[in-house]
Structure 1
């Protein structure tokens, strides 16, 4: 069994050598998909243009059809389940460092409020909005093919435009009083980003509070208001995602996974995993037929 741990590996499944900081798809029909889950290592915008697909994202199952789109951040874990024969999608992958080059605010993407589920968002919109995004993707692909002095800046500008249009569509669908509290929203967005970057290094609430220059109590208040969970619960959920990803690779032992995730022992990792899922790591692997 092959585990696709990142986007480069997944695109290589389709004989696509993606060494650039971005990739724009053709929108042609897709007939074959990786069977195993994989973790995004780029940002992604995927628009279903025809047919339908059943997909699992961070262990949650979704049904997506025409004019739905997925916007996802790095660390999102995706598994394709089944598609209709006429399924088509247009997509864009890009690296954040490419996008924010020469931009003073490193949290510009997070501030667009694109990810309602932590690291991704699935939006069901109308044909008009879908066509708008598709046309921008087509324009982006056309411009990316022309290698000129300002091609990189043009591509970067179009991607920003795409994200802002996407954020505007999401804003139309969802608005809340919390979004108007800019200071608290910034803390929540930075907290989410810091967890994605540091989950394998540190999972204490104090670490993230220190990074954000706020007290534990204030961080708990902000995060609970933003998503209805405590910082500790968000940290555990993110850690569980990492565990699922590593357990999907049969070449890595459970002891190695425990070490990678900074647990004191395999048994400590096993207790954490069973508390979250009601299964031991080995039982999960057996259930999912992940055999070495």
Structure 2
């Protein structure tokens, strides 16, 4: 059994927004080809599993699926809603830092239950309409509508404390490297070199952004990937250890147990 990768957007496009397909019921676990997917459902019932967490569909519901995350649906009644597929290139072409910050904030909420649907549905329909015949001058319109949409989501689902994460460009680049790399390397020095900075500065960047060291942040990604491989492939623990760049399986087992208080084999069977 191997992890299936799906690509739902044409190579020439960097963003796609459309109605959620009403015929979707059960899907096999899969991940996406290096893009973010945001799914909003205002009708339907069932569940949605992202990596190793299963969420009930209690409409209206928003799901945020990050690049490389595994997910699958178990929908029991006809769904209605919208889906946004967004490539890295869309954000690279944007000069609106507030939009990038809002997407960063949303990535911390894999599932949120919203308060109302009228305004959200209106914004989604405007986005669909504006993307039908997209031309360059519409980029500003699309970005403005996305900002309104994401701000609405965050306003409805998080306490209004005034505290938001302010991600630096370097932190966003590190996050993107971890999400898109074929192999995650358990080394702060490795990523510091790629970002043309020092390990000390990379630690400071991570602590400023999310309050943890660069080593811990990288470790979280390694454990996430290990859990995906344990759950969604038939690879042995030794094979997973090799793929994750551990020197041997015993080192990987000790590392995994220290982070999760379970051995890889116990996690797989639980």
Q: How far apart are residue 217 of structure 1 and its match?
A: 4.3
Matched residue, 2:101: 112
Unaligned runs of 5+ in 2: none
Matched residue, 1:29: 22
**TM-score (ref. length: structure 1):** 0.70
Cα offsets for 1:60-95 (capped at 9, x unmatched): 343343233233431233243x43424333212233
Q: How far apart are residue 7 of structure 1 and its match?
A: 2.4
Q: Distance in 2 between matches of 1:260 and 1:155?
A: 43
Matched residue, 1:6: 5
User: Is the alpha carbon distance of 1:104 and 1:70 closer, same or farther for their aligned partners in structure 2, counting shifts above 3 Å?
Assistant: closer
Question: How do 1:14-163 and structure 2 match up within 5 A?
Answer: 19-20=10-11, 21=13, 23-36=16-29, 38=31, 41-80=34-73, 82-97=74-89, 99=90, 103=93, 111-116=100-105, 121-125=110-114, 126-140=116-130, 143=132, 151=134, 153=136, 159-163=142-146
Q: Distance in 2 between matches of 1:140 and 1:108?
A: 22
Q: How far apart are residue 50 of structure 1 and its match?
A: 0.7
Unaligned runs of 5+ in 1: 12-17, 145-150, 288-292
Note if contact 2:237-2:264 (Cα within 8 Å) is conserved in structure 1: yes
Q: State the SS of the aligned residue for 1:66.
A: coil
Note if contact 1:6-1:41 (Cα within 8 Å) is conserved in structure 2: no
Q: State the SS of the aligned residue for 1:273.
A: helix
The 10-residue stretch of structure 1 (258-267 or 242-251) with the greater mean CA deviation from structure 2:
242-251
Q: State the SS of the aligned residue for 2:212.
A: coil
Matched residue, 1:196: 179
When the two structures are aligned, how many residues end up with a matched partner? Answer: 265
User: Is the alpha carbon distance of 1:139 and 1:170 closer, same or farther for their aligned partners in structure 2, counting shifts above 3 Å?
Assistant: same
Q: Distance in 1 between matches of 2:44 and 2:91?
A: 34
User: Is the alpha carbon distance of 1:116 and 1:24 closer, same or farther for their aligned partners in structure 2, counting shifts above 3 Å?
Assistant: closer
Q: Distance in 2 between matches of 1:109 and 1:59?
A: 31
User: Is the alpha carbon distance of 1:207 and 1:218 closer, same or farther for their aligned partners in structure 2, counting shifts above 3 Å?
Assistant: same
